[in-house]
Amino acid sequence: MDGQPFWQRKTLAEMSDSEWESLCDGCGRCCLHRLEDADTGEIHTTNVACRLLDTHSCRCSDYPNRKREVPDCIQLRVSDLADFHWLPRTCAYRALSEGRSLEDWHPLVSGRAESVHEAGISVQDCVVSEDLVHPDDFEEHIVTWVGDDPN
Instruction: Give the global pTM.
Output: 0.88
Residue 133 CB partners (closer than 8 Å, separation 6+)? 48, 141
pLDDT of residue 1: 55
Range 51-87 burial, b when 16+ CB lie within 10 A, else e:
ebbebeebebeeeeebeeebeebbebeeeebeebeeb
Q: What is the mean pLDDT of the chain?
A: 91
Residue extents of the structural domains in the chain: 6-141
**pLDDT mean over 12-31:** 94
Range 108-133 burial, b when 16+ CB lie within 10 A, else e:
bbbeeeebbbebebbbbeebeebeeb
Instruction: Check whether 35 has a pLDDT greater than 80.
Output: yes
pLDDT tens sequence across 110-136? 999 999 999 999 999 999 999 999 999
